[in-house]
Structure 1
């Protein structure tokens, strides 16, 4: 029986194999519409198993489940193989039944497009490319950076895309363990190195309290007034964008 199955698979094209697997995954997904962890397992994405992101995502994303949201994920996966990758895009599609899912990748992954999933080819550090994409699709509700994980890339992408996130939108950055890995531009010796992803975002809480500064002595931080909260989890950062204009309680 196993040999017959192997022979059938050998005769199928990569495109056809993917189509069959997608049908199977979609059928299984019907039974777990509210469980991101189960959907991650069904669609074989590493957001659960290798990593443990889905419980955190569920806590932050569930209020948007039945909204007509737009989600942008940086990175499709599968490298330069045309029919590999896109697993998390299909997971998001099943979790958000009325959502539109967008993604960008350095490789041409348009063969993975389907209803409610659109993919653009380009670099996450090409600011002009990113701006063109955002002008095309408009402001989004969720951005997930699962791209190169290089520290300078993560920071450049955030600074470019954050203005295109809607009010009360959510920005997630995955695999921030690369903050400590040399080959990604990280640093495990100087834990205060300002060029790492972790240290860049450790400064973000100061933007929440920007009205308490003595602005005659301190420069206004980036994104001041537009960060409501930031959450640090194991290898994951989540930022909530919301106008922060509460009056100061400064006693100076």
Structure 2
């Protein structure tokens, strides 16, 4: 089976681009995590931020029995590798009604990728809504975290992210939950995650020990 990166090279996705600070693309690191998913099982995958559909086709080819759901603020029309294993929803990721519609229909996901607006408030609130629908053996990925720091992205719409303080607050809450919720039986702490992994430009969160 070709690697995720090899598949992506023929799918017109910018996920093949090397990190600005390191020589690896996101996909070289994704391969490590996604290899723990059963390649041929009926996985459910949600990607926020579909754009030209390249990563949708990449995921369908990498997981030939997976059903992939896409959400984007803009209409996204492209040739889907397997239309029978894809459904698209148009809407904003900060619209809890559309998120509720998606989760009601699909119930849970093995992989959630947020490549949406890159606004801190959007991806934090999206994560807080969706994380309970992530399966125990699944992965939640938030991409393009370099956009947290607007002084390096003056031409981007993510200027509203200011200096990344809201992101730091989000991380602090997650770390508190990570270290206290199990040790002190503080089940009220949220989000209740097992691990947080940082890489150049993105983070991966899990609910259990999956390696």
Task: Provide TM-score, normalisation by structure 2.
Answer: 0.83
3-state SS of the aligned residue for 1:156? helix
Which position in structure 2 is the counterpart of 1:246? none
Q: Are residues 212 and 137 of structure 1, via their aligned partners in 2, closer, same or farther at CA, if it must alter by over 3 Å?
A: closer
Contact 1:110–1:120 (Cα < 8 Å) also in 2: no
Contact 1:110–1:119 (Cα < 8 Å) also in 2: no
3-state SS of the aligned residue for 2:36? helix
Higher relative CO (CA 8 A, sep ≥ 6), structure 1 or 2?
2
Q: RMSD of aligned C-alpha atoms?
A: 2.2
- 1:103 shift after superposition: 0.7
Q: Which runs of 5+ in 1 are unaligned?
A: 1-32, 78-84, 244-252
Q: Residue 201 in 1 paired to residue 168 in 2?
A: no
Which position in structure 1 is the counterpart of 2:63? 96
Deviations, residues 51-105 of structure 1 (Å, cap 9, x unaligned):
411011111111212221000000111xxxxxxx001000000000111111111
Q: Residue 177 in 1 paired to residue 151 in 2?
A: no
Which position in structure 1 is the counterpart of 2:204? 238
Deviations, residues 192-251 of structure 1 (Å, cap 9, x unaligned):
x2x13x541344232122144597xxx95312xx311110000110001139xxxxxxxx
3-state SS of the aligned residue for 2:111? strand
Alignment partners' CA distance in 1, 2:129 and 2:206 = 16
Which position in structure 2 is the counterpart of 1:40? 8
Contact 1:70–1:99 (Cα < 8 Å) also in 2: yes
Which position in structure 1 is the counterpart of 2:40? 66
Q: Which runs of 5+ in 2 are unaligned?
A: 20-24, 152-156
Tell me the number of residue pairs that the alignment of Structure 1 and Structure 2 aligns: 194
Q: Which has the larger radius of gyration?
A: 1
- 1:109 shift after superposition: 2.3
